[in-house]
Structure 1
């Protein structure tokens, strides 16, 4: 099972889907609707000076614990921050764009390592 922990639907298209079409159904294989609460990368402010703040990243918020047989689609920043600890995280890969260049989906999912 794959659950989508991003704030928007993830459309998975076949590898032959071309960019530039505004038809969302052309080549569509599957759509993963978003879960109620997206996973986010938390920030911990460590202090700083007048012109900058020191911020620690790497703590995920709203990310469920690992479960057998379940993988989670998350944002790339969440997956990269946890790649060495969470092999169950997937990200959209090989984006599909419409006629105005906006990303409308992906051709595959990737597991960052």
Structure 2
């Protein structure tokens, strides 16, 4: 079972779907709808400082919010930042891979999913 923990539908296209088409249907294999609560990276602020007069907050990323515990047989589609932050500890996280773009260059889907390591 693959669950989508991003805030938008994930469209999976055939490998030969060309980029540059605005029609969402050609080559569409499936759409994985998002779950109600997306997974996000939590931020832990550590300190504030100024650099060249600009306020800079020193923060720590890497604590996931809204990510369920590992479950046998379940994989979760998450954003790339979430997957990269947790890849060493979570083999159940997937990200969109080999993106499909419309005529404006906007990502509208992907051809595959990937598991970051």
What TM-score bracket applies, with the shorter chain setting the length?
A: over 0.9
Partner of 2:77: 73
SS in 2 for 1:93: strand
Distance in 1 separating the partners of 2:8 and 2:56: 32
Larger Rg: 2
Unaligned runs of 5+ in 1: none
Partner of 1:58: 62
SS in 2 for 1:106: strand
Give the TM-score, by structure 2 length. Answer: 0.94
What pairs with 1:1-113 in structure 2 (closer than 5 Å)?
Answer: 1-50=1-50, 51-113=55-117
Unaligned runs of 5+ in 2: none
Distance in 1 separating the partners of 2:108 and 2:47: 38
Runs of 4+ in 1 over 2 A off after TM superposition: none
Distance in 1 separating the partners of 2:77 and 2:27: 20
Give the TM-score, by structure 1 length. Answer: 0.98
Q: What is the CA-CA distance between 1:48 and the residue it aligns to?
A: 2.0
